[in-house]
Amino acid sequence: MSGNPPFHNLTYYTFGTPNGLKPAIVLEELGLQYKVEKVDITKNTQKEQWFLDINPNGRIPALKDGDLRVFETGAIMLYLTDRYDKEGKLNYPQGSREYYEVLSWLMWQMGGLGPMQGQANHFRAMAGAYSEYGIKRYMDETARLFDVLESRLSHADWLAGEKYTLADIASYSWVRAGPVFLDMDIKKWPGIEKWVKRIGERPAVQKAQTIPEGTRSAEELSQMAKGMRDRIDGMKETKRDS
Ligand SMILES: N[C@@H](CCC(=O)N[C@@H](CS)C(=O)NCC(=O)O)C(=O)O
């Protein structure tokens, strides 16, 4: 790598998943020009060498800006605001109290909500065997993490400070997937329900949900996920792991 960013030459490598959605929202909210490269994870494209050269972890998404590469959604989102959000539309000034609130919620999402809800998705909709233990462990943990969000959103409009930031975008992308993939009843968390509606009404968020081309709508995803859960339930009696 050489040269110093920003290059204003952005390519976003992604697929229509909660992690793919996070930086897509940031790119759209900031009104940036960028190319989209679809990395089809159903075909294992993310494990091909050309993509591993951009993201050694072999998972979507990743970003290139000129010859600079950034991987991990938290890093991509921070790169975009550090470099291209000089007016602070989606973040607070570095070093401020609110900046560390944004960082705290962002790290919480990266280390907690995303990985745990991802495991819930796996056991509830994708596993090769029915696992009552796995489903309970990760569904309970996902619900506990929703409670944590609710503890803030029951009395505040946004997660960090007084405005919509990266913190909201990161968790929104996963929370939105809860009812769709896991059939979670969002009404149990009234603060979250209002916050999801508030964010979902934003044009940039709606546009990001169509990236890359061919991404299924929430209704189509719900239908598909129901079929996946039914398949797991069908293994209940035959393939118990405990
Ligand atoms: N911590 C990573 C997680 C990325 C991730 O788990 N991506 C999933 C899609 S949401 C993926 O590429 N899965 C395919 C695979 O694991 O091979 C990030 O935030 O970028």
Using CB distances shorter than 6 Å, the residues near ligand 1 are 17-19, 41, 46, 58-60, 72-73, 110
Same domain, 56 and 152: no
**Ligand 1 atom showing the smallest separation from residue 60 Cα:** 12
Any bridge partners for residue 14, and if so which?
Answer: 38
Same domain, 176 and 112: yes
Same domain, 42 and 78: yes
- For ligand 1, atom 2, the nearest C-alpha belongs to 72
Q: For the segment 184-203, what is each residue's pLDDT rounded down to a tens digit?
A: 999 999 999 999 999 999 99
Same domain, 154 and 215: yes
Give me the sign of the Cα torsion angle 225, 230, 236, 238.
negative
**Ligand 1 atom showing the smallest separation from residue 17 Cα:** 10
Same domain, 112 and 207: yes
| Residue 238 pLDDT greater than 80, yes or no | no
Res. 1 pLDDT band, cuts 50 70 90: very low
Same domain, 164 and 218: yes
CA of 50 to the centre of ligand 1 (A): 17
Same domain, 128 and 15: no
Best residue among 14, 40, 52, 60 to mutate for probing ligand 1's pocket (most ligand atoms within 8 Å of CB) is 60
Domain end marker among 84, 112, 144? 84
Domain housing 164: 97-234
What tokens appear for 23 in the block?
Answer: 């930086």
Same domain, 109 and 226: yes
The answer to the question of residue 168 being in a domain is: yes
Q: What is the mean pLDDT of residues 177-186?
A: 97
**Ligand 1 atom showing the smallest separation from residue 62 Cα:** 20
CA of 118 to the centre of ligand 1 (A): 9
Domain end marker among 54, 84, 114? 84
Domain end marker among 31, 50, 84? 84
Same domain, 71 and 161: no
Number of domains in the chain: 2
Q: For the segment 16-26, what is each residue's pLDDT rounded down to a tens digit?
A: 999 999 999 99
Q: For the segment 99-155, what is each residue's pLDDT rounded down to a tens digit?
A: 999 999 999 999 999 999 999 999 999 999 999 999 999 999 999 999 999 999 999
- For ligand 1, atom 17, the nearest C-alpha belongs to 59
The answer to the question of residue 90 being in a domain is: no
CA of 12 to the centre of ligand 1 (A): 14
Same domain, 106 and 219: yes
The answer to the question of residue 198 being in a domain is: yes
Same domain, 136 and 18: no
The answer to the question of residue 92 being in a domain is: no
CA of 60 to the centre of ligand 1 (A): 5
Q: Quote the pLDDT of residue 7.
A: 79
- For ligand 1, atom 16, the nearest C-alpha belongs to 59
Q: Quote the pLDDT of residue 5.
A: 67
Q: DSSP per residue over 115-165, as a string?
A: HHHHHHHIIIII-SS--HHHHHHHHHHHHHHHHHHHHHHTT-SSSSTTS--
Q: Domain of 219: which CATH number?
A: 1.20.1050.10
Same domain, 77 and 125: no
